[in-house]
Chain A
């Protein structure tokens, strides 16, 4: 599904490459956690997968199509298939919840369709938003103001938006960084269930190795821009995780 082949990324302002010779494969329905210290390259890896960073060598391929070479409409078409869930700050506060949720469909809608939806959403569109919110457990928030939601609810709205996008890859960059432990577990469980149920390749960066071991099939350790280990969660030894904390 998602392949990262010998990927090297170097930022102009820095001597050391941010990523160096990364190789990674994630199959549909597979749940992979990326752990490692801050500055280890997790965010750069996600940006490279999403095609928003210039790649020096190697490439990222989505079902055989190279992300890095796409531009304009083609890049947008590829991005449509990769849903991104960041920390909870990426919703538009002033929109209603259903508007934020259906923003996931913008990649497949025409501009006119998008404007029409803002003015007068159709019943089918509202139903789709409602179904997505039902799946993430907050259908009653359909028409709420987004700024009135709690941190955990905002994260659920972001996930609902990702569902509406109908992606094949789900990227979650520190999705639980600003949530309390109980909410963190709920959100991770939800992400992992969704990946299995819809056959999505889930790539999720995490600070907490113990959560990674509990919820994910595979764990990748990233440090100084290199993969230091990549193995099934069941085969992770304590010494693998010392560096991450």
Chain B
């Protein structure tokens, strides 16, 4: 009861937000920087990621090697990349952009490649049979066959990039992330609330932009001038590079003292518990929410309300939820799992709802024609038709959450991130690299297991 009272009073301290004109004038520049960094990251990610995905999707020679490389890159958390980028490129938006570019090239490349590989093969075979070259097969087969999912995932990853753009700021990558961490660390909760509201509005407008892009993909071209301008305005500080290489060389080889090594398995286990617990909580919340948000399942008056709830859960990054839950529920893995669960429920809820809405209409209409009611049509048609994307999204989320679980530790929400952050703060760079390597292996393991489970879920529904 006492803890609940404390939690309640902490929550009250976040209100009302600081909306004074002087503060709003002040945050304008960091907000613009955050948008620009996300756009620049996506410009690089799309220009490099799509060609790589096409190369993999057409099963060109050595495509497995590219998948391996992309998976390996993707397995390094964005915040960790940002810490490294800050060391190499120097403080400021250039570091943030570099981290986002690397991370989202790997993400776009890998996810698009998976979608291409999962595309129906028969139409592609018939294209190949005409003697069409690879690029033609991609343009006339792969991309049209997977376009709905490509656009969904492309705009979704732009949303992620916008949130990540805030996150990388937290370790010196520029933008409102730096402001937010400063406000929370300075116990200036009203300004933190203002920044969280701005963040939510930002993500909501990116959501709308994503919807517009799905309707008219040409709108995505807006990203290019914004991204390129931000890159030109924020060049890396070259003189830091030489120093950075020296520092980077000092981080190698990764090394742990015996005591830290003995504690490592328990740390990894706790990280996994945060990730699995968070994903399970998210799945439990997301399935009913997604049905309530799918316009082909319930009335649009209800979907609009449910979607706002999902938007709020999703707009606030795990790290920020973790900041709030650590303040409210105390330091430890529970705060981490709650943070991942709430944020992922928002992400999965939206993706599941889109999966429900994207199902083939012919079988659903056939079921309705038998006189079946709403719930049976969902159970026999919409749900099984969407189970593939649902399994894929959940497994991707679990992978993502393993990564996120390593990151939330950095602000006291448990797991390996705490040790990583402490090593970095004490400039024990070899130890830090050892934790990064352990994180990396953990994420790769999650990737492999995810792949297997995804495949099995696809089959399980049939063989009751």
Contacts of B387 in A (CB 8 A): 94
Q: How far is the CB of B373 from chain A (nearest CB, A)?
A: 6
| Chain A residues with a Cβ closer than 8 Å to the other chain, count | 41
Q: How far is the CB of B274 from chain A (nearest CB, A)?
A: 31
Contacts of A94 in B (CB 8 A): 384-385, 387-388, 458, 461-462
Contacts of B384 in A (CB 8 A): 92, 94-95
Q: How far is the CB of B276 from chain A (nearest CB, A)?
A: 25
Evaluate whether A86 and B366 lie within 8 angstroms (CB atoms) in the complex, with A80-B371, A95-B380, A107-B372 already known.
Answer: yes
Say whether B362 contacts A86, CB under 8 Å. yes
Distance A95 CA – B366 CA, assembled complex (angstroms): 14
Say whether A79 contacts B370, CB under 8 Å. yes
Contacts of B373 in A (CB 8 A): 76, 106, 111
Say whether A92 contacts B370, CB under 8 Å. no
Q: How far is the CB of A43 from chain B (nearest CB, A)?
A: 12
Determine the residue in chain A with the shortest Cβ distance to B382.
A92
Say whether A78 contacts B379, CB under 8 Å. no
A222 within 8 A of B: no
Say whether A90 contacts B363, CB under 8 Å. yes
**Of A10-18, A55-63, A113-121, the one touching chain B:** A113-121
Contacts of A91 in B (CB 8 A): 363, 366
Contacts of A213 in B (CB 8 A): none
Say whether B369 contacts A106, CB under 8 Å. no
Over the window 143-183 of chain B, the binary record of Cβ atoms lying under 8 Å from chain A Cβ atoms (1 yes, 0 no) is 00000000000000000000000000000000000000000
Distance A84 CA – B371 CA, assembled complex (angstroms): 11
Over the window 167-205 of chain B, the binary record of Cβ atoms lying under 8 Å from chain A Cβ atoms (1 yes, 0 no) is 000000000000000000000000000000000000000
A129 within 8 A of B: no
Say whether B363 contacts A92, CB under 8 Å. yes
A175 within 8 A of B: no
Q: How far is the CB of B441 from chain A (nearest CB, A)?
A: 34
Q: How far is the CB of A38 from chain B (nearest CB, A)?
A: 18
A83 within 8 A of B: yes
Contacts of B366 in A (CB 8 A): 84, 86, 90-91, 158
B464 within 8 A of A: yes
B452 within 8 A of A: no
Evaluate whether A103 and B372 lie within 8 angstroms (CB atoms) in the complex, with A90-B366, A91-B366, A96-B463 already known.
Answer: yes
Q: Which residue of the partner chain, among B362, B363, B375, B458, contacts A114 with CB atoms under 8 Å?
A: B375
Say whether A76 contacts B380, CB under 8 Å. no
A77 within 8 A of B: yes
Distance A136 CA – B419 CA, assembled complex (angstroms): 65
Complex interface residues of chain B between 372 and 397 (CB less than 8 A to chain A): 372-373, 375-377, 379-381, 384-385, 387-388
Distance A6 CA – B175 CA, assembled complex (angstroms): 69
Say whether A118 contacts B380, CB under 8 Å. yes
Distance A50 CA – B368 CA, assembled complex (angstroms): 10
Q: Which residue of the partner chain, among A78, A111, A115, A161, contacts B371 with CB atoms under 8 Å?
A: A78
| Chain B residues with a Cβ closer than 8 Å to the other chain, count | 27
A229 within 8 A of B: no
A20 within 8 A of B: no
Determine the residue in chain A with the shortest Cβ distance to B458.
A94
Evaluate whether A79 and B363 lie within 8 angstroms (CB atoms) in the complex, with A114-B379, A114-B380, A115-B379 already known.
Answer: no
Contacts of A78 in B (CB 8 A): 371
Over the window 443-461 of chain B, the binary record of Cβ atoms lying under 8 Å from chain A Cβ atoms (1 yes, 0 no) is 0000000000000001001
Distance A96 CA – B461 CA, assembled complex (angstroms): 8
Evaluate whether A89 and B362 lie within 8 angstroms (CB atoms) in the complex, with A103-B370, A106-B373 already known.
Answer: yes
Evaluate whether A106 and B388 lie within 8 angstroms (CB atoms) in the complex, with A90-B363, A111-B376 already known.
Answer: no
Distance A84 CA – B363 CA, assembled complex (angstroms): 11
New contact pairs (13) apart from A89-B362, A119-B464, A145-B462, CB-CB < 8 Å: A81-B371, A86-B362, A86-B366, A89-B360, A90-B366, A92-B385, A103-B380, A106-B377, A107-B371, A111-B373, A111-B376, A114-B372, A118-B379
Hey, which bits of chain B sit against chain A, CB under 8 A? 360, 362-363, 365-373, 375-377, 379-381, 384-385, 387-388, 458, 461-464
Hey, which bits of chain A sit against chain B, CB under 8 A? 50, 52, 75-84, 86, 89-96, 99, 103-109, 111, 114-115, 118-121, 143, 145, 158, 161, 165
29 contacts between A and B (CB under 8 A): A50-B369, A52-B365, A52-B369, A76-B371, A79-B368, A79-B369, A79-B370, A81-B371, A89-B360, A92-B381, A94-B387, A94-B388, A94-B458, A96-B464, A103-B381, A104-B370, A105-B370, A106-B370, A106-B372, A107-B372, A108-B371, A109-B376, A111-B379, A114-B375, A115-B376, A118-B380, A120-B464, A161-B370, A165-B371
Q: Which 3 A-B pairs have the closest CB atoms?
A: A107-B371, A106-B372, A80-B371
